[in-house]
Amino acid sequence: MPYSVGLQAASAALLSAGFPVLFTTAIIVLLVIVAITSSLQKDVLDAPSRLPIYSLFAIIPFFRRRYDFMNWGFEATGQSAFQFDLLRNKVIVVSGESARQAFFTAKGLDLTEGFKILSGAIPMVRGVTSDLQTKRISLIHKRLAAVQKNEQLSMLIPSMLEDSRRLMETWGNSGSFDPFNNIYELIFQLTVRSLSCAEISDDPCVVSRLKKLYDTLDVGTTPATVLLPWLPTPAMVQKLWATKEIYDIVVAAITAREQSGVSRNDTLQMLLDSGDEKLVVVGFIMGLLIAGARATGTTACWMLTFLGGHPEWRDKAKAEIEGLLASQNAPSESLSSQLASIPLETWETETPALDSIIRETLRVAQPHTAMRRNLGPEMHIDGKLIPSGSYVVYPFSDVHLNPDIYHDPWKFDPNRQPETKSAYSYVGWGGGKTTCLGQRLARIELKIVTALFLLGFRHCIVDGSGKVTPEPPLPNWNDILLCRPPQGSFSLRYERSSATL
């Protein structure tokens, strides 16, 4: 009797507490039930080892300190593969050469489904950037390939150089900046120029607004917004509002183009002339803008940071670019005009130093974790069962920071020869059936930004107190977007050269 009275009193108190308390209590109860259910599951003999913690305790580390979490998982289980649950989602993390080879070649492992559930940092609009039919995904890939054809890329180079010149002019003759602000902003502008339209890329205010909205998506990507997207947390509400604003900006630009009747030589015009339905056009721009800007932006920030700490490679890259200009008999005009006169083929085939720098930067400072979902049937990787519907994760650090493959792996050394002894020993652009479809555009962006900066400025690395430091900062692989060191720990000090940008 006392127990029933106590329960009645507790129930009455709970009901009188209001909706927020009821809702929070319901979520907590749900999470506890899921945790208990997961802990009671019995694994088959060939299942990967489970982490020695309750699944709920794995959620925050997986999203906030992924590099440390996965290294701990391999160490705690003593195995080359382990599993844990993200609520009702079974996640299996694999490592090693044979697992890497199987991961990048298995037909049943789907990138789109894996990324959607485990990442959550792309603006999700049903039928536009998520829940896409295979046919629509293939069409978007086809259009991305069209953007990177010779004629289209050649046409883009002068515009991208002019954008770079305009933004670099705003930096003044000398000073210092955080590359993860200034250089990332520059790459975002070039990506908008390449993958959207003049209505957006010609308006600095709109581009700035777009960048802030995409930054909101990044900040708002929390474990709750990824795993419980229906939960109206403040972060989820901010993400939804930012997604709506991005959608409105893109749709407004498309509508303005259609109503003007004026044809422009840009990506939007190519999409419209191809007769693509509006959802495909909007999805192409919304999804690829941020996918391209994040990866290329991270690489550009680190390239210039590493070159600031390795003057021998900075000088080698600068001499290579000056050699290109000399061989082209470029007119004695501004640097951006001279660089625009270099043919696309020359940029792609006659820059071995820049190619080596890009390759090494991708190896040491791209904190990728490849994510897939097994769409079936069940399969085995390294003798471990991968059930249908489960998620499989492969950390790039397993190969790129492996001292057995790369001696002194944290050292930035573009002189490294490509490793060929083990399968998929370099996956900077992906591997197997899932390589980066925009890598040709990304390479050109990286090269022209680096070229203009090295010819137009002298730079070095300074620490948080402004003192010149000979060593670049260590990439932070727990930062899954930018590999960014602690903010304020360093910056790039620069001085303008005598040349006109």
Q: Between 162 and 283, name the one with better pLDDT.
A: 162
pLDDT of residue 3: 38
Integer angstrom CA distances of residue 113 from 81, 132, 137, 195, 286:
21, 10, 12, 24, 18
Q: Is the pLDDT of residue 24 over 70?
A: no
pLDDT of residue 247: 92
Residue 388 tokens read as 């249908």
Strands annotated E in 214-359: none
Query: In which band, very low, low, confident or very high, does the pLDDT at 29 lie, cut at 50, 70 and 90?
Result: very low
Residue 350 tokens read as 């006659």
Query: In which band, very low, low, confident or very high, does the pLDDT at 456 lie, cut at 50, 70 and 90?
Result: very high
Question: Which backbone phi and psi does 460 adopt, to 5 degrees?
Answer: -150, 175
The residue type at 376: G
Cβ atoms 347, 444 nearer than 8 A = yes
Q: How many CB atoms lie within 10 A of CB 404?
A: 10
- Determine what percent of the chain is predicted with pLDDT higher than 90: 64
pLDDT of residue 15: 47
Residue 371 tokens read as 């994510």
Q: Compute the average pLDDT of residues 290-313.
A: 95
Asked if residue 205 belongs to a known ligand binding site, the reply is no
Q: Is the pLDDT of residue 7 over 80?
A: no
Domain positions in the chain are 134-496
What is the helix (H) or strand (E) element at residue 453, kind and residue range?
A: helix 439-456
Look-up: residue for tokens 């259609």? Answer: 258
Q: How far apart are CA 59 and CA 62, in angstroms?
A: 5
Instruction: Please list, in sequence order, all residues whose beta carbon lies within 8 angstroms of the beta carbon of residue 226, skipping any fewer than 6 positions away.
Output: 63, 117, 118, 119, 120
Q: Is the pLDDT of residue 365 over 70?
A: yes
pLDDT of residue 356: 97
Query: In which band, very low, low, confident or very high, does the pLDDT at 213 lie, cut at 50, 70 and 90?
Result: very high
Residue 500 DSSP one-character state: -
Q: How many residues does the chain have?
A: 501
CA 292-352-412 angle, to 5 degrees, is 70
Q: How far apart are CA 363 and CA 389, in angstroms?
A: 30
Helices and strands counted in the chain (H then E): 21, 13
Integer angstrom CA distances of residue 434 from 2, 14, 141, 323, 372:
63, 51, 12, 35, 10
Cβ atoms 227, 87 nearer than 8 A = yes
Q: How many CB atoms lie within 10 A of CB 486?
A: 10
- DSSP assignment of 302-314: HHHHHHHH-HHHH
391-395 and 457-463 strand pairing: unpaired
Question: Which backbone phi and psi does 274 adopt, to 5 degrees?
Answer: -80, -10
pLDDT of residue 152: 93
By CB neighbour count within 10 A (0-12 exposed, 13-18 middle, 19+ buried), where does 487 fall? exposed
pLDDT of residue 166: 97
81-86 and 109-110 strand pairing: unpaired
Q: Is 256 left (phi over 0), alpha (psi -120 to 50) or beta?
A: alpha
Strands annotated E in 87-132: 89-94, 109-110
pLDDT digit string, tens, across residues 229-274: 667 778 778 888 888 999 999 999 999 999 998 999 999 999 999 9
Q: How far apart are CA 448 and CA 346, in angstroms?
A: 12
Query: In which band, very low, low, confident or very high, does the pLDDT at 46 lie, cut at 50, 70 and 90?
Result: confident
Q: Is the pLDDT of residue 448 over 60?
A: yes
Q: Which residues make beta-bridge pairs with 494? A: 175, 459
Q: Find the range with the poorest average confidence among 23-37, 232-246, 410-424.
A: 23-37
Instruction: Please list, in sequence order, all residues whose beta carbon lies within 8 angstroms of the beta carbon of residue 371, skipping any fewer than 6 positions away.
Output: 111, 114, 115, 117, 118, 119, 391, 392, 393
Question: Which backbone phi and psi does 384 adopt, to 5 degrees?
Answer: -105, 135
Look-up: residue for tokens 């991305």? Answer: 144
The residue type at 466: G
Q: What is the mean pLDDT of the chain?
A: 87
Q: Between 367 and 134, name the one with better pLDDT.
A: 367
Q: Is the pLDDT of residue 44 over 90?
A: no
Q: Is 68 helix (H, G, I), strand (E, B) or coil?
A: helix
Residue 478 DSSP one-character state: T
Q: Is 431 helix (H, G, I), strand (E, B) or coil?
A: strand
Q: Which residues make beta-bridge pairs with 392? A: 92, 372
Q: Between 187 and 17, name the one with better pLDDT.
A: 187
Q: Which CATH superfamily is domain 134-496 in?
A: Cytochrome P450 (1.10.630.10)
Q: Find the range with the poorest average confidence among 23-32, 92-101, 210-219.
A: 23-32
Instruction: Please list, in sequence order, all residues whose beta carbon lies within 8 angstroms of the beta carbon of residue 111, skipping any fewer than 6 positions away.
Output: 370, 371, 372, 434
pLDDT of residue 140: 84
Q: How far apart are CA 265 and CA 263, in angstroms?
A: 7
